[in-house]
Amino acid sequence: MTIQEDSSSRNSDVLAAFETEDQPASGGRLEAAIDHLRREWQLYLMLLPMVIWFIVFLYKPMYGLQIAFKDYSIFRGIAGSPWVGLEHFETLFANDQFLRAIKNTVTISALNLLFGFPAPIILALMFNEVLHASYKRTAQTIVYLPHFISSVIIAGIVITAFSPTAGIVNTIMGWFGLDPVYFLTQPEWFRPIFIGTGIWQEAGFGSIVFLAAIAGVNPSLYESAVVDGANRWQMMWKITIPSILPTILIMLIIRIGNIMEVSFELVILLYQPATYETADVVNTWIYRQGLQSGQYDLAAAAGLFNAVVAFILVMTANTLSRRFSRTSLW
């Protein structure tokens, strides 16, 4: 069953008010809609804050996207700035730093998918196997905690931990006679540290979704498997993982949709010019160009490119998932 099917069935009552056969053309439909609104006004009232949020923060800024095709000047305003067609996109793709930022974004996201995406799933499967209730609760609390810590503090902890003078990592290396390394200034170390930090911060909290999915697996499937002779390992592979596969796929689709959105805050906090070579991603490049250099039109073009790529990726992932696993977001 797809998420799409679920939501459509949920909405069937609501839709029924608009789609009854005996309703005349548009006039009748409008009356029915008004009637429905009058009857269910509490629901729409609750919906209102979210609609306002979408309009203010997602739809209204779309108006500003046009500056990606204009020679924008804050003095002339959006409407007064002249159109320049695809000039900014040509500039972008002729810019080595932007191309490097795309490469870094894709590389970091791919590594994140490879290591960061399975981490909460593995964690959830491990928690599911823990039988001692209080031990399980304590362990869960400990791994959830980093999610609630500000990225600034997380970055501070990481910087301290990898410090060449007092950092715990270099201290331990020192015990084995190894020379200290200034990890955060070396481009080859940025990605492992960044991905590792992301896993540490989010794997625990991310496991909640998968734990909830595991909790939803029919217990009699396990009992049936026990009677059939399955051990815990076999039950995990043959029941738990296939049962939560739809959830895994949905989360994967969402993750793929965000592939161009590498954790901006953490990159900004951890990178430095010495590590731009591997650390500078599209969003940090946009930040520097747009806000620090004042090239809003170029930054808007880069942002638009980012959004289009994300849109194509999420559409592709959704279609592939629907075709091969009968699970999809829509």
Partner 1 sequence: MSGVVLNKIVKKYGALQVVHGIDLKIDPKEFVVLVGPSGCGKSTTLRMIAGLESITAGTLAVDDRVMNKVAPKDRDVAMVFQNYALYPHLNVADNIAFGLKIRKVPKAEIRQSVQEVAEILGLTDYLARRPSDLSGGQRQRVAMGRAIVRHPKVFLFDEPLSNLDAKLRTQMRAEIKRLHKRLGVTSIYVTHDQVEAMTLADRIVVMNEGRIEQIGTPMELFNNPANRFVAGFIGSPPMNQLHGFLEADDAGPVAQIGRLKVRLPKSEVLENQNGKPVVLGIRPEHVTVDEVPGSFPIRINLDLVETLGSEALLHTDLDGMTFVARVETLGEISHLSGVDTLHVKPDLLKLFDAETGRSLSVDARTGT
What does the binding site for partner 1 look like in residue numbers (CB under 8 A)? 1, 218, 220-221, 223-230, 234, 238-239, 242-243, 245
Nearer to partner 1, 8 or 218 (CB): 218
Q: What is the smallest separation between the CB atom of 248 and partner 1, expressed in angstroms?
A: 12
CA-to-CA distance for 23 and 9, rounded, in angstroms?
Answer: 21
251: β partners: none
Q: What is the smallest separation between the CB atom of 249 and partner 1, expressed in angstroms?
A: 12
Q: What is the smallest separation between the CB atom of 121 and partner 1, expressed in angstroms?
A: 16
Nearer to partner 1, 136 or 238 (CB): 238
Kindly provide the b/e burial profile for residues 69-106, where b requires at least 16 CB atoms within 10 angstroms of the residue's own CB.
bbebeeeeeeeebeebeebbbebbeeeeebebbbebbb
Which three-class secondary structure string do you get for 255-324?
Answer: HHHCCCCCCHHHHHHHCCHHHHHHHCCHHHHHHHHHHHCCCHHHHHHHHHHHHHHHHHHHHHHHHHHHHH
- Closest by CA position to 202, among listed 144, 269, 270, 265: 144
Q: What is the smallest separation between the CB atom of 229 and partner 1, expressed in angstroms?
A: 3
CA-to-CA distance for 308 and 233, rounded, in angstroms?
Answer: 42
Residues 6 or more apart in contact with residue 193 via CB below 8 angstroms? 158, 162, 183, 184, 270
Q: What is the smallest separation between the CB atom of 217 and partner 1, expressed in angstroms?
A: 10
Q: What is the smallest separation between the CB atom of 223 and partner 1, expressed in angstroms?
A: 5
Nearer to partner 1, 39 or 326 (CB): 326
Single-letter code of the amino acid located at 125: L
Nearer to partner 1, 157 or 225 (CB): 225
Tokens of 26: 């548009």
Nearer to partner 1, 210 or 296 (CB): 210
User: Cα–chain-centroid distance for residue 211?
Assistant: 19
Nearer to partner 1, 197 or 327 (CB): 327
Query: What is the dihedral sign for C-alpha 274, 278, 281, 286?
Result: positive
Q: What is the smallest separation between the CB atom of 216 and partner 1, expressed in angstroms?
A: 12
70: β partners: 83
Question: 282, 106 in Cβ contact below 8 A?
Answer: no
Nearer to partner 1, 39 or 232 (CB): 232
